[in-house]
Amino acid sequence: MMLSRVADHQYWMSRQMERAENLARLVRVSEEMLLDDETLGRGSAQEYWTPVLAATAMEGAFRSLYPNPQMGDVARFLTLDLRNPDSILSCIRQARENARSVRDKISDEMWSEINALNLFVTSPEGLQLLERFPQAYYEKIISSSMLFDGITDATLTRDEGWNFLQLGRLLERADMTSRFLDIRSQTQPSPVDSALESLQWGAVLRACSAHAGYRRVHGGEISVEGVVDLLLFSNEFPRSVRHCIRRADEVLHDISGTPTGRYSNHCEKITGALLARLSFAGPPEVMARGLHAYIDELQVQLNAAGQAVFESYVLLPGEVDRHFPRGTRPESLSDWQREQQQQQQQ
Amino acid sequence: MNLFLYDVYHEQRIIKDGVIPPEVVFGASHYRPEFVGVSVPKDAYIHVCGTDLIRDRDGRYLVLEDNGRCPSGVSYVLENRAAMKRVFPQLFGASGVRPVDTYPADLLATLRHVAPRENPNPNVVLLTPGVHNSAYFEHSFLARQMSIEIVEGRDLIALDGFVYMRTTRGLRQVDVIYRRIDDDFLDPQVFRKDSCLGVPGLVDAVRRGNVALANAIGTGVADDKVTYAYVPDMIRYYLCQEPILDQVPTYLAWRDSDKKYILENLPKLVVKAANESGGYGMLIGPVATQAQLAEFHDKVSRHPRNYIAQPVVNFSQHPTLVDGGLEGRHVDLRPFVLWGDTVKVLPGGLTRVALTRGSLVVNSSQGGGSKDTWVLAA
């Protein structure tokens, strides 16, 4: 048993951290791709980024902030732009704020690492690195997030809080892996340019640290079916959607104490159904349905799982209306709340 | 002060006997008439007290003010000690420094002591305004040291006169709340309607005796800066003893003769708002600008009950490392006192230091620092 709000902070702390890491993976690979002449074919860098923004559901936000995009604007928007609530910097800041709210529940080492990352991304050294060696900058973010994960694994008591932390990370990872796949599904199929296609799928694999894993299973030749098989359906590869959902399902059952294979609340029902779906399907079903449509359905389910976690454990049904009149968004209260919080001191 | 608080919220003998004028008590902005006749567990109002002491020119310790609402700073005492042990381990060996790290356990015992209905295994929580408060570090630190939950108002819910916290397993009853938010923000149904930090219905649960608050509601009447002037009289009245520590002489603007003196001598005096804390709302006459003097002249004339004045006490300095050299800086001392089944004085305290040369304002909210403070075993 733990405070609902604390569970929520733990969940979001790790979820935002994972999101920052995956965005860093995405930008790193994209920028690296853009260095190759062939990547673009006849298109512009802008065209290259469009599906990336679409797959991460940030296209609208980007267009409104940058009506006349220049070179480097997308990377800036995804990395350091605080006006973008899902930029790497925004995610790290939010992860750190969540960590601060549960400072007494996490280990000192976790706190240090999240602060180190938060300071690094906007430090003079960090910014200089971003300017001169962007790959190294993004690698540093990725490795810091992975270090945070490792520190968590090595220092945090395996209690309910740990489960919520895992849940946030796993659901985000499943979501982002599916989005990486979606990027390529949105690219216009170029007329029989198989060299370019395998280059692009190779980039998706690299973004997911899946190159080695792919070769072990599917050999050296990169095919859509192979990538889909590994990133959606692999039971062994730790960033695959199925693997993440299986772990999330286990974690949820650990929280509630219900045996796996049954469900005691809505989120267990969703992850269970999703797991069954991923366990008894493969690339042929995806290709028949269409990759983009398949991923779209998957993401609806992933969102529903996140929402169900919130409803089952954070909002206690029936108590919501007492605290916030229907229609009030908690965020609109936050400035006012901050002001009152600052006033209390003797 | 606990005797005084019990009295003003019950028989009000001290007023009827003419020791303290009624307007001092009833005019204090932190006086809570809603709580007259309401009993609190063990008659304890102030469970945690942080009295500020200074040492004057003659080496006498004087009480500068009493903090009986939510005194803060104890985490600095513990962290300063930890830092000193790390940096100067060799100093500690033979000195006989008394430990301060028993404080969290003592605080927890104090809180458990006031659990309603003598519950042997009470659920104690720390109520914080939240992460944006400057003392949030301390709240988090203490909750962690005591292994209790740190909650915000939105984590709590009052139902049918009981208070519960919202957990992943549903509601769990709360017995004692160590609250670090002001009375005004505790319950929007009773105090400030716009509070989004509090718990609607909390005060009702307190009245019914189903949950205990530490410190209790309404203690601000005792640490009001006008009430302060009457503390020596209180000690004589309730305890038939003479105060051990003196006070800083205090002029009360609501007395006409004092007001006249204050207005005529503003540049020589320190003027303080009666119910502010954290170093806000004060004027230090000798270093004030003409505009500030005029502003306070106006404020004191118009709201005499709200202001007191004291002569500038040039309290003691302590060698302080500033830009690589040692310089004198003014310090005061806040010892922490816990009032549970016995009175426990922490053998140490928060020495607050004004880091600006010549400044007499030590409050951390005004940029003050702090120092480790030793009490040696006899």
Is the confidence at residue A324, as pLDDT, over 80? Answer: no
Does a structural domain hold residue A66? yes
Residue A292 lies in a domain: yes
Instruction: Give yes or no: residues A99 and A205 share one domain.
Output: no
Q: Pull the structure tokens for residue A284.
A: 């042929």
pLDDT tens-place string over residues A249-262: 999 999 999 998 89
Q: Quote the DSSP letter at residue B279.
A: T
Task: Say yes or no: B301 contacts chain A, CB-CB below 8 A.
Answer: no
A6 and A21 in a single domain? The answer is yes
Counted domains in chain A: 2
Is the domain of A165 the same as that of A143? no
Is the residue at A277 inside a domain? yes
Is residue A233 a part of any domain in this protein?
Answer: yes
Q: Which residues, at least 6 apart from B31, have a Cβ–Cβ distance to it below 8 Å?
A: B8, B25, B218, B220, B221, B224
Inter-residue contact A66 to A78 (CB < 8 Å)? no
Q: Which residue of A has its CA nearest to B363?
A: A346
A266: which residues sit within 8 A by CB, 6+ positions away? A308, A311, A312
Among chain A, residues having any CB pair with chain B shorter than 8 Å are: 1-7, 97, 100-101, 103-104, 160, 255, 313-314, 316, 319, 322-323, 333, 336-338, 340-346
Residue A328 counted as domain residue: no
Q: Which residue of A has its CA nearest to B220?
A: A346
A131 & A182 share domain: no
Residue A213's pLDDT band, with cuts at 50, 70 and 90, is very high
- A130 in the same domain as A167: no
A263 assigned to some structural domain: yes
Binding-face residues of B in 35-54 toward A, CB within 8 A: 50
Same domain assignment for residues A281 and A172:
yes
Residue B65 C-alpha, separation from nearest chain A C-alpha, in angstroms:
11
CB-CB neighbors (< 8 A) of A104 in chain B = 140-141, 143-144, 150
Q: Is A142 inside a domain boundary?
A: yes
Q: Determine the distance in angstroms separating the CA of A313 from the nearest CA of chain B, rounded to an integer.
A: 5
- A90 domain-assigned: yes
Helix (H) or strand (E) holding B350: strand B350-353
Domain of residue A9 covers: 1-155
Supply the ipTM of this predicted assembly.
0.75
**One fold for both B102-214 and B249-311?**
no
Q: Is the pLDDT confidence value at A328 over 60?
A: no
Tokens (6 digits) for A51: 């599906």
Q: Is B102-214 assigned to CATH 3.40.50.11290? A: yes
Residues of chain B positioned with their CB less than 8 A from the CB of A345: 72, 133-135, 277-278, 365
- Asked if A291 contacts A181 with a C-beta cutoff of 8 angstroms, the reply is yes
Q: Domain limits of chain B?
A: 102-214, 249-311
In tens, the pLDDT along B105-161 reads 999 999 999 999 888 899 999 999 998 888 899 999 999 999 999 999 989 999 989
Cα-based torsion angle of the residue sequence A139, A145, A148, A152 in order, rounded to the nearest 10 degrees: -140
Cα–Cα distance for residue pair A244/A172, rounded to 1 Å: 9
Residue type at position A48? Y
> What integer is the mean pLDDT of B196-224?
93
Q: Read off the pLDDT band of A332 (50, 70, 90).
A: very low
Question: What is the Cα–Cα distance from A232 to B221, expressed in whole angstroms?
Answer: 66
Out of B133, B141, B143, the one facing A345 most closely (by C-beta) is B133
Confidence grade of residue A343 (pLDDT, cut at 50, 70, 90): low
pLDDT above 50 for B373 = yes
Distances (CA, A) of B235 to A265, B19, B333: 61, 11, 22
Omega before residue A118 within 30° of 0, cis: no
Asked which of A68-72, B94-98, B274-278, B326-330 is least confident by mean pLDDT, the reply is: B274-278
Q: Tally C-beta pairs within 8 A across A and B.
A: 100
- Report DSSP state, residue B246: E
Residue A333 banded pLDDT, cuts 50, 70, 90: very low
One-letter amino acid for residue A126 of the chain: G
The answer to whether residues A138 and A169 belong to one domain is no
A-chain residue closest to B125, CA distance: A3
Chain B residue numbers with beta carbons less than 8 Å from the beta carbon of A160 are: 168
| Same domain flag for A170 and A72 | no
Say whether both A176 and A298 belong to one domain. Answer: yes
Residue of A nearest to B334 (CA): A346
CB A7 within 8 A of CB A161: yes
Write down the pLDDT at residue A320.
Answer: 43
In angstroms, the CA A220 to CA A147 distance is: 30
What is the bridge-based pairing of β-strands B343-345 and B336-339? antiparallel
Q: How far apart are CA B167 and CA B81, in angstroms?
A: 35
Query: Can you tell me whether residue B289 is helix, strand or coil?
Result: coil
Choose among B157, B168, B182: nearest Cβ to A2: B168
- Please give the pLDDT value at position A313: 87
Which distant-in-sequence residues (6+ apart) come within 8 Å of B269 by Cβ? B251, B262, B285, B309, B310, B311, B312
- Same-domain pairing of A17 and A127: yes
Over residues A185-197, the pLDDT tens digits come to: 766 555 556 777 7
Which residue of chain A is at minimal alpha-carbon distance from B151?
A: A3
pLDDT digits (tens, 9 = 90+) for A252-310: 999 999 998 899 999 999 999 999 999 999 999 999 999 999 999 999 999 999 999 98
Chain B residues in contact with A5 by the CB 8 A cut-off are 151-152, 154-155, 166
Residue in A337, A342, A346 nearest the CB of B196: A337
The per-residue pLDDT for A339 is 63
Report which listed range, A321-325, B351-355, B356-360, is most confident. Answer: B351-355
pLDDT in tens, B54-81: 999 889 999 998 999 989 999 999 999 9
Closest Cβ–Cβ partner in B69, B140, B200 for A346 = B69
Q: What is the distance between the alpha carbons of residues A333 and A327, in angstroms, rounded to a whole number?
A: 12
* Interface contact B166-A5, CB threshold 8 A: yes
Q: Judge if A183 and A293 occupy the same domain.
A: yes
Is the CATH number 3.30.1490.270 carried by domain B249-311? yes
**Residue A143 and residue A202 in one domain:** no
